[in-house]
């Protein structure tokens, strides 16, 4: 036997990796990469979903805080009665952000409790209108024959929260955004306090009432006094730059406004988000299938633009301890869909 005889070499060992084996490896890598991408995309969607919920929570809180800051100084709430509706009708409306229809002030219940409306008792509104007390105005009137007189006069402003429709804007795939607007009036001086100013020394030729009125007009660029105890046709008196006050009230009063502010179209940082957020329309509105039930307190009405949508207001309790309930439901576009977040707050305020 030949001892130098060699073992036959294996062709399989020397030929390397086949094309089929490379394809198998490539398929495994691609499948693994696709699986990782799917996990990453799902993680991003989940993160975006919860980030959107957190933003809605933040914006809801900002809206309620804005209302609370106004309501804490409320002098007088206006409800769904003749007086309240007349004051609402007297407000100058902004044509670019007109209130939706129908609108309703809440029925103010001196007794009773917060809760869902019934056919027999409908107290929920989608408007909030009240007057608020501002920092009092202090005027000093110089006199020649006696000491200078210092006078303190209360200053008021009317505030309205209401919904407006922005039909050209979008949230998710739905066209038509509801914005919550804050409307503020010009300033008014207290008519009763002005008229109670007496002249301690008529002989010196200085009329302190005229001096205070003239100082008010110059400081606030407003020519109106308000008698808060009267109906709108008997409550407002015109005054002028030299201190004159009209004898008779203005029977056809139009309460002038400062520029309105959209609370949904502008988030606290000032970034425009009107294309991505909206007050929620009533449940059943096509495109607004969300988890929140709207309304929760009022009886829904489909007439015209519908009532009340995702802004519901109730006021109960005596004037010294009003309970103001505010429910806000916001929606935000996420991908091609929308998500909702509701926020309900009960504020205890008193009318001054």
316: left (phi over 0), alpha (psi -120 to 50) or beta: beta
Please state whether beta strands 224-226 and 188-190 pair in parallel, antiparallel, or not at all (unpaired). parallel
Give the mean model confidence (pLDDT) for residues 312-335: 91
Quote the pLDDT of residue 274.
38
Q: Which residue has the tokens 């809605």?
A: 56
| Mean pLDDT, rounded, of the chain | 84
pLDDT at 72 over 60: yes
Q: Is 147 exposed, middle or buried (0-12, 13-18, 19+ CB in 10 A)?
A: exposed
pLDDT at 12 over 70: no
Q: How many Cβ atoms sit within 10 Å of the Cβ of residue 333?
A: 19
Quote the pLDDT of residue 58.
84
* Interatomic CA distance for residues 281 and 242, integer angstroms: 50
pLDDT at 289 over 80: no
Cβ within 8 Å of residue 125, ≥6 positions away:
80, 103, 104, 105, 106, 107, 298, 308, 312, 313, 314
Identify any residues that bridge with 255 across adjacent strands, giving them in sequence order: 91
Q: Is 292 exposed, middle or buried (0-12, 13-18, 19+ CB in 10 A)?
A: middle
Quote the pLDDT of residue 16.
62
Give the mean model confidence (pLDDT) for residues 113-130: 95
pLDDT at 337 over 90: no
* Interatomic CA distance for residues 350 and 84, integer angstroms: 18
pLDDT at 13 over 80: no
Quote the pLDDT of residue 287.
67
For residue 167, what pLDDT band results from cuts at 50, 70 and 90?
A: confident
pLDDT of 170-224, one tens digit each?
777 777 889 999 999 999 999 999 999 987 677 677 889 999 999 999 999 999 9
4 or 248, higher pLDDT: 248
Least confident range of 47-61, 121-135, 280-294, 305-319: 47-61
Give the mean model confidence (pLDDT) for residues 44-57: 62
pLDDT at 234 over 50: yes
105 or 288, higher pLDDT: 105
Give the mean model confidence (pLDDT) for residues 308-333: 93
pLDDT at 1 over 90: no
Cβ within 8 Å of residue 175, ≥6 positions away:
167, 168, 169
Quote the pLDDT of residue 336.
66
Quote the pLDDT of residue 45.
53
Reported pTM: 0.83
């Amino acid at each position: 036997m030949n001892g130098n005889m060699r073992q036959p070499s294996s062709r399989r060992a020397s030929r390397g990796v086949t094309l089929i084996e490379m394809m198998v490896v490539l398929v495994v890598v691609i499948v693994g990469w696709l699986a990782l991408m799917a996990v990453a995309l799902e993680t991003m969607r989940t993160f975006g979903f919860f980030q959107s919920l957190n933003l809605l929570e933040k914006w809801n809180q900002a809206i309620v805080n804005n209302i609370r800051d106004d309501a804490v100084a409320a002098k007088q709430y206006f409800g769904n009665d003749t007086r309240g509706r007349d004051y609402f009708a007297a407000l100058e409306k902004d044509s670019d952000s007109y209130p939706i229809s129908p609108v309703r002030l809440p029925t103010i219940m001196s007794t009773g409790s917060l809760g869902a409306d019934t056919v027999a008792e409908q107290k929920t509104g989608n408007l909030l209108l009240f007057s608020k007390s501002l920092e009092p105005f202090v005027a000093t009137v110089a006199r020649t024959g006696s000491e200078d007189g210092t006078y303190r006069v209360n200053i008021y402003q009317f505030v309205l929260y209401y919904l407006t429709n922005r039909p050209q804007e979008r949230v998710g795939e739905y066209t038509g955004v509801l914005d919550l607007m804050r409307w503020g009036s010009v300033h008014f001086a207290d008519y009763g306090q002005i008229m109670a100013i007496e002249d301690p020394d008529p002989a010196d030729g200085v009329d302190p009432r005229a001096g205070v009125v003239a100082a008010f007009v110059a400081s606030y660029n407003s020519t109106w006094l308000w008698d808060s105890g009267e109906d709108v046709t008997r409550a407002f008196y015109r005054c002028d730059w030299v201190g004159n006050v009209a004898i008779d009230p203005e029977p056809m009063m139009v309460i002038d406004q400062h520029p309105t502010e959209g609370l949904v179209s502008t988030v606290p940082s000032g970034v425009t988000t009107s294309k991505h957020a909206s007050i929620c329309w009533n449940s059943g509105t096509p495109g607004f299938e969300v988890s929140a039930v709207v309304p929760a307190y009022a009886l829904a009405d489909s007439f015209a633009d519908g009532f009340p949508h995702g802004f519901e207001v109730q006021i109960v309790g005596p004037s010294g301890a009003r309970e103001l309930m505010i429910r806000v439901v916001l929606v935000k576009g996420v991908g091609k869909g929308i998500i909702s977040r509701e926020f309900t707050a009960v504020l205890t305020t008193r009318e001054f």
